[in-house]
């Protein structure tokens, strides 16, 4: 019985998210036939975001989490989504572009890469099913909170160490990272509720599903971009062959795998929206990246990065350069002439430099200081084994794109990589967060959030060079 409740508890949110994504997209894109694997991948993360909000809402309203009531609600929501999908479904006028069939060598290579990708996934699955929760930060923070909730019989308060020390009630817990968003803790807690008991291994099954969903979404987006099945499965192989990505599946519990799903797939959708002219992809991208704020505080930073990327793709470079220069001039004049270093934004908070610290609403406060990180990046990205050959692939795609023809794919790819690099270099090179680069920790975890989008960008650039007609995107853009 517990196997049944665990399976339904983990799969029903996925089904609800996928069905509703299909239903809504069918109304936005009546002339474009979407890739169902892509919808399934994105639907997983949308469904689990909805599940997390449902658990938190149930706890806030009734001071307890009822597995049965949430499952009943999810069943109703899924059924309604299926009805909307069935009643609103229309035959799409346009599917993927006709492609030359793979030759025998291509088919053999496709089978080999698919099997190799599956082998990577099976190794990760074996670890999830047999390796108890590994004693790293997930053990100390996110999943510790999940276990405390389950063993206490409800979502008890997790407070600061000072508040915990002064408390008189035993129904209170503390961790060092007590301010972290609760999504990464809610999901293992839900898995334990579905199972009916705490398991040091089975509570990590959602991470395994998340890894599979990222692969499905990446493959589906590649196919919609005009890639043939061989190039699409190559994207999946490259993803699962990144050692750090596999580690975050196998030794589950960290929040960064979920960030790779929400933020990484969100940036892919933004790029697809720009390349195809499909507004639904753009909206989906912003929604995914906004939901990343439920997972880690860095989600707010990536949302600002998404806004910058969208601006770079929507406006002429001269316009963006002029706007940037005007903002820089206004900031300099405010400081030099009027002595203004920060402003108080209504309902948002302080923006600017206050007491020698950079204050950004919803993101936090950072001391501005210079860190030399070139050697750290060289060691972590190229010399050590955490990333395999990912960064050489990204560098090679840029070398292909920069001297190439001025196409939308070239502009989008270069813009995304530059936004990614600017974020990383600013965070670790010019703020006090540079300490996490010196310790070889966050300098690897934060780029992990972008891995699906970096692989997609590299292959899209390569695909355009070998198929210059831009099969799918050009046709979609003409019809949009």
Query: Residue 439's pLDDT is what?
Result: 85
Q: Is 94 helix (H, G, I), strand (E, B) or coil?
A: strand
Query: Residue 368's pLDDT is what?
Result: 83
Burial class (CB in 10 A: 0-12, 13-18, 19+), 172: middle
Query: Residue 471's pLDDT is what?
Result: 45
Of the ranges 247-261, 336-350, 351-365, the best mean pLDDT one: 247-261
Query: Residue 468's pLDDT is what?
Result: 55
Q: Under 8 Å CB-to-CB from 376, ≥6 apart: which residues?
A: 428, 437, 438, 440, 443
**297-325 pLDDT tens trace:** 899 999 999 999 999 998 877 777 787 78
Which alpha helices (DSSP H) does 131-179 contain, by range?
137-140, 142-152, 161-166
- The residue ranges of every structural domain in the chain are 2-85+107-254, 311-479
Between 137 and 303, whose confidence is greater?
Answer: 303
The CB density around residue 394, as the number of other CB atoms within 10 Å, is: 22
Stretch (H or E) spanning 344: strand 342-345
pLDDT over 60 (residue 361): yes
Query: Residue 96's pLDDT is what?
Result: 53
List beta partners, residue 157. Answer: 172
Mean pLDDT score, 29-38: 83
Half-sphere exposure of 154 (CA within 13 A, CB side): 13
Mean pLDDT score, 243-262: 95
Q: How is residue 319 written in tokens?
A: 């316009």
CA–centroid distance for 299 within its chain: 9
Query: Residue 305's pLDDT is what?
Result: 95
Distance CA 256, CA 141 (A): 13
Which band of pLDDT confidence, cut at 50, 70 and 90, is reported for residue 285? very high
Which band of pLDDT confidence, cut at 50, 70 and 90, is reported for residue 68? very high
Taking alpha carbons only, the member of 18, 69, 373 closest to residue 213 is: 18
Angle at 14 between CA 32 and CA 158, to 5 degrees: 135
The CB density around residue 115, as the number of other CB atoms within 10 Å, is: 11
Please tell me the pTM assigned to this model: 0.92
Distance CA 360, CA 370 (A): 19
Which band of pLDDT confidence, cut at 50, 70 and 90, is reported for residue 91? low
Which band of pLDDT confidence, cut at 50, 70 and 90, is reported for residue 90? low
Distance CA 278, CA 289 (A): 17
Query: Residue 98's pLDDT is what?
Result: 54
Mean pLDDT score, 104-129: 94
Q: Under 8 Å CB-to-CB from 464, ≥6 apart: which residues?
A: 407, 409, 410, 470
Stretch (H or E) spanning 365: strand 364-367
Query: Residue 149's pLDDT is what?
Result: 95
Q: Mean pLDDT across the chain, nearest whole number?
A: 88
Which band of pLDDT confidence, cut at 50, 70 and 90, is reported for residue 1? confident
Percent with pLDDT over 90 in the chain? 61
**Distance spanning both ends of the chain, measured CA to CA:** 49
Query: Residue 39's pLDDT is what?
Result: 96
pLDDT over 70 (residue 473): no
Query: Residue 177's pLDDT is what?
Result: 83
**5-26 pLDDT tens trace:** 999 999 999 999 999 999 999 8
**220-234 pLDDT tens trace:** 999 999 999 999 999
Query: Residue 320's pLDDT is what?
Result: 75
Between 236 and 328, whose confidence is greater?
Answer: 236
Q: At what angle do helices 205-224 and 36-62 cross, to 10 degrees?
A: 140
């Amino acid at each position: 019985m517990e196997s049944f409740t665990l399976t339904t508890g983990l799969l029903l949110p996925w089904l609800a998210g996928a069905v509703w994504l299909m239903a809504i997209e069918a109304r936005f894109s009546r002339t474009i036939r979407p890739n169902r694997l892509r919808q399934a991948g994105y639907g997983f993360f949308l469904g689990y975001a909805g599940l997390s909000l449902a658990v938190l809402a149930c706890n806030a309203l009734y001071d307890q989490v009822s597995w049965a009531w949430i499952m009943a609600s999810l069943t109703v929501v899924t059924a309604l989504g299926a009805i909307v999908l069935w009643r609103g479904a229309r035959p799409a006028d346009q599917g993927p572009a006709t492609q030359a069939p793979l030759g025998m060598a291509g088919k053999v290579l496709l089978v080999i890469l698919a099997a190799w990708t599956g082998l990577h996934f099976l190794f990760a699955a074996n670890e999830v099913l047999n390796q108890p929760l590994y004693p790293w930060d997930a053990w100390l923070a996110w999943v510790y909170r999940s276990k405390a909730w389950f063993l206490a019989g409800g979502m008890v308060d997790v407070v600061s160490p000072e508040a915990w020390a002064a408390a008189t009630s035993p129904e209170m817990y503390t961790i060092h990272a007590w301010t972290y968003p609760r999504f990464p803790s809610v999901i293992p807690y839900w898995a334990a509720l579905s199972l009916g008991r705490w398991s040091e291994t089975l509570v990590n099954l959602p991470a395994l599903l998340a890894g599979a969903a990222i692969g499905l979404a990446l493959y589906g987006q590649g196919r919609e971009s005009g890639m043939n099945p061989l190039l699409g499965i190559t994207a999946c192989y490259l993803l699962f062959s990144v050692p750090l990505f596999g580690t975050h599946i196998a030794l589950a519990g960290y929040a960064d795998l979920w960030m790779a799903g929400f933020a990484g797939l969100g940036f892919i959708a933004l790029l697809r929206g720009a390349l195809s002219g499909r507004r639904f992809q753009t909206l989906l991208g912003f929604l995914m990246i906004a939901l990343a704020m439920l997972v880690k505080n860095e989600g707010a930073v990536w949302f600002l990065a998404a806004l910058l990327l969208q601006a770079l793709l929507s406006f002429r470079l001269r316009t963006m350069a002029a706007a940037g220069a005007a903002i820089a001039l206004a900031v300099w004049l405010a400081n030099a002439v009027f002595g203004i270093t920060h402003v108080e934004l209504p309902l948002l908070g302080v923006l600017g430099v206050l007491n020698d610290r950079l204050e950004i609403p919803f993101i936090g406060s950072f001391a501005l200081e210079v860190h030399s990180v070139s050697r750290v990046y060289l060691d972590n990205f190229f010399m050590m084994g955490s990333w395999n050959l990912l960064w050489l692939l990204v560098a090679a795609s840029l070398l292909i794109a920069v001297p190439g023809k001025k196409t939308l794919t070239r502009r989008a790819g270069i813009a995304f990589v530059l936004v990614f690099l600017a974020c990383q270099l600013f965070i670790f090179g010019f703020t006090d967060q540079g300490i996490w680069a010196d310790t070889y920790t966050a300098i690897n975890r934060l780029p992990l959030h972008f891995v699906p989008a970096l692989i997609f960008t590299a292959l899209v650039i390569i695909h355009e060079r070998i198929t210059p007609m831009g099969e799918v995107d050009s046709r979609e853009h003409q019809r949009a």
